[in-house]
């Protein structure tokens, strides 16, 4: 499937299956300007069975920044996996992480 029209926004809230969806939607992510995704450490562990670094893998080829609204902070590409790891280790839940180009 070739995606010819870019998406302004992709919004995901699929109760722990985000990782699997992200892996399967690489062409859509390549054309998306912004992705908003729920982040629950317990879902990473108990539903997807992945680490924060694995969760970041399908995102890093497509996005350069991560904004964490509750932290009022933005992380650059090289900091994304570390920020996700920190949130995971702290058990920090985020309704909507914002990934942008």
Global confidence as pTM:
0.92
Number of H helices, E strands in the chain: 5, 5
The stretches of 36-79 forming alpha helices (DSSP H) are 41-43, 52-56
Mean pLDDT across 71-78? 97
Q: Residue 16: pLDDT above 90? A: no
Can you give the residue ranges of every domain in the chain? 10-100
**What is the helix (H) or strand (E) element at residue 88, kind and residue range?**
helix 80-89
Give me the residue label for tokens 């562990």.
45
Tens of pLDDT, residues 21-50: 999 999 999 999 999 999 999 999 999 999
Report residue 15's pLDDT band, with 50, 70 and 90 as the boundaries.
Answer: confident
């Amino acid at each position: 499937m070739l995606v010819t029209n870019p998406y302004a926004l992709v919004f995901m809230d699929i109760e722990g299956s985000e990782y699997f969806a992200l892996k399967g939607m690489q062409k859509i992510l390549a054309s998306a300007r912004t992705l908003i995704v729920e982040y629950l450490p317990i879902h990473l562990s108990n539903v997807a069975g992945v680490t924060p670094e694995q969760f970041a893998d399908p995102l890093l080829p497509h996005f350069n920044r991560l904004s964490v609204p509750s932290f009022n902070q933005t992380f650059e590409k090289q900091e994304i996996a570390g920020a996700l790891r920190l949130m995971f280790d702290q058990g920090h839940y985020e309704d909507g992480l914002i990934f942008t180009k």
